[in-house]
């Protein structure tokens, strides 16, 4: 790769219209959600069926460490491009190919071990380690691809499109999780390791086609740089936290706190269902498919709500989501078995995922407000890494919390953390700490009218 210096003659104009831009981004975010959904949905259920403890299951979330550490190499994505392929495209295409190859390799190597789980005592451990290694490698590729994709989104979306754009982002990611965590999980138990993983690799390859056809425009000059090719500091991601007199550091702490409760509560919803007697197919349907579809719908609604007021969207969605997270304790409190509790659990899953999707989109849209085009990938990744780091810590401790407190008090704790994170957004916005985008005569923060201004 070479320092960013694209030639205008090498590129055709950006895709015409909002639909074309959103379609391109949707294909890329789907590619990230597909393997992540498969590994996060299949691995906890499979591990629990093998008799592993909740603490170990919760700790397995450290395999997503690349998502938290990607802030360290995000400036490289801003600084270097693929020359003729394009500033963002030069990263995305090779990483899509690498992800596909990694999954194909896992399909071939793990095929024999997966088919012999019941015949060999050590085969289950082999499959577990294979899935763990595949999840880590795939997360490494996907996390780096996500840096470039987020940078592309900052580049091509206007401030007024960010709400809907982030709605599409989360929705497409959740569609990938529907397929990976629902359909492919069910297929994994029915057809086995090899066909399922080869299908997943094929789907990622197909989702690469829109990016192959896309021709990226050159980077336009930014207020933060004198020319499109001005070098981006390797410390660009970390320097984000010192911006605006340190206000962005406070903002980063707020967005981490906003996601902490969800990170603590959500992982144990799957194991709770397994312990209540739900089958793999039940869990795949409820959380992998039904929950992801509900989250997708919530993401689209959240994108529309966040268009006028980021704060209102964050508060409204966060408060309801906190109550629903705590409500996951109801099947345990009421002592409902699988048949008696199916309707209640289904309703909880749908409502919690709808509000969770709305809250996530509202947060991601506000995070994009703090990103500028010259360092868009680094700015957004700095914030996303805070969210992932906090989420990783919360997820890693979730099993320990459930082991010590039991499911009842575990979900009450998660709901309380969601509430605290939501209420913290009020002073952050009212004191002018949170980032705001100014467009079309309205502040995209609290909805107060103002004269049109330049986006920060």
16-218+240-443, CATH topology level: Growth Hormone; Chain: A; (1.20.1250)
User: According to the model, what pLDDT value does residue 6 have?
Assistant: 38
Give the integer Cα–Cα distance in Å for 370 and 198: 39
User: According to the model, what pLDDT value does residue 250 have?
Assistant: 93
User: According to the model, what pLDDT value does residue 180 have?
Assistant: 80
User: According to the model, what pLDDT value does residue 442 have?
Assistant: 41
User: According to the model, what pLDDT value does residue 229 have?
Assistant: 42
Query: pLDDT digit of tens for each residue in the chain (456 aa)?
Result: 444 433 333 333 334 467 888 899 999 999 988 887 777 766 676 666 566 677 767 777 777 778 778 888 888 887 776 567 777 888 999 999 998 988 888 777 666 544 444 445 455 566 667 667 777 887 888 888 888 898 888 888 877 788 888 888 888 887 887 788 777 777 766 777 788 889 989 999 999 999 988 877 665 544 444 334 444 555 666 778 888 888 899 999 999 999 999 999 988 888 888 888 888 778 877 876 788 788 888 888 888 888 777 888 899 989 999 999 999 988 888 887 777 778 888 888 889 889 888 888 889 888 988 887 777 778 888 888 888 789 888 988 898 999 999 999 999 999 999 999 999 999 999 898 888 754 433 444 454 333 222 222
User: According to the model, what pLDDT value does residue 191 have?
Assistant: 78
Give the integer Cα–Cα distance in Å for 15 and 21: 6
User: According to the model, what pLDDT value does residue 408 have?
Assistant: 92
- For residues 328 and 348, is the Cβ–Cβ distance under 8 A? yes
Kindly report the pTM of this predicted structure: 0.69
Give the integer Cα–Cα distance in Å for 36 and 45: 14
The candidate with the shortest Cα–Cα distance to 422, out of 325, 295, 348, 317, is 317
pLDDT tens digits, residue range 285-336? 787 678 878 888 888 888 888 877 788 889 998 999 999 999 998 888 888 7
Query: If you search the block for the tokens 């996530």, which residue do you land on?
Result: 360
Q: Helices 310-327 & 338-369, crossing angle to 10 degrees?
A: 160
The candidate with the shortest Cα–Cα distance to 257, out of 431, 71, 419, is 419
Q: Where are the domains of the chain?
A: 16-218+240-443
Give the integer Cα–Cα distance in Å for 246 and 268: 35
């Amino acid at each position: 790769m070479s320092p960013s210096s694209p030639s205008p003659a090498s590129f055709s104009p950006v895709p015409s219209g909002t639909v074309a831009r959103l379609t391109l981004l949707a294909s890329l975010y789907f590619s990230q959600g597909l393997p992540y959904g498969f590994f996060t949905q299949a691995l906890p259920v499979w591990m629990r069926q093998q008799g592993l403890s909740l603490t170990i299951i919760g700790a397995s979330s450290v395999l997503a460490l690349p998502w938290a550490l990607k802030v360290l190499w995000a400036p490289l994505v801003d600084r270097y491009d693929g020359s003729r392929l394009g500033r963002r495209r030069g990263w995305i295409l090779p990483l899509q190919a690498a992800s596909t190859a990694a999954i194909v390799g896992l399909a071939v190597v793990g095929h024999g071990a997966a088919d012999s789980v019941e015949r060999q005592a050590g085969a289950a451990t082999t499959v577990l380690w294979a899935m763990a290694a595949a999840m880590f490698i795939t997360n490494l590729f996907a996390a780096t691809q996500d840096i470039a994709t987020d940078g592309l989104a900052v580049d091509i979306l206007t401030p007024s499109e960010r709400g809907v754009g982030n709605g599409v982002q989360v929705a497409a990611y959740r569609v990938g999780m529907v397929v990976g965590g629902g359909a492919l999980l069910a297929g994994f138990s029915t057809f086995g390791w090899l066909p399922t993983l080869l299908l997943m690799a094929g789907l990622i390859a197909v989702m690469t086609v829109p990016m192959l056809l896309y021709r990226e425009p050159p980077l336009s000059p930014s207020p933060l740089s004198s020319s499109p090719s001005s070098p981006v500091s390797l410390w660009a991601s970390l320097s984000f936290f010192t911006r605006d007199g340190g206000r962005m550091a406070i903002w980063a702490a707020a967005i981490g706190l906003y996601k902490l409760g969800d990170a603590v509560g959500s992982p144990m919803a799957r194991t709770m269902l397994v312990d209540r007697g739900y089958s793999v197919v039940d869990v795949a349907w409820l959380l992998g498919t039904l929950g992801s579809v509900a989250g997708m719908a919530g993401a689209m609604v959240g994108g529309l709500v966040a268009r006028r007021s980021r704060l209102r969207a964050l508060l409204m969605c966060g408060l309801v989501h906190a109550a629903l997270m705590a409500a996951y304790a109801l099947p345990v409190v009421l002592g409902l078995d699988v048949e008696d509790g199916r309707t209640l659990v289904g309703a909880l899953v749908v409502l919690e995922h709808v509000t969770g999707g709305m809250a996530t989109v509202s947060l991601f849209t506000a995070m994009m407000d703090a990103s500028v085009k010259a360092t868009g990938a680094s700015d957004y990744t700095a914030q996303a890494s805070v969210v992932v780091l906090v989420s990783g810590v919360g997820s890693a401790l979730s099993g320990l919390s459930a082991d010590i407190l039991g499911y009842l008090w575990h979900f009450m704790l998660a709901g309380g953390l969601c509430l605290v994170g939501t209420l913290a957004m009020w002073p952050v916005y009212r004191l002018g700490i949170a980032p705001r985008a100014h467009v079309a005569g309205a502040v995209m923060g609290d909805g107060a009218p103002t004269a049109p201004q330049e986006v920060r």
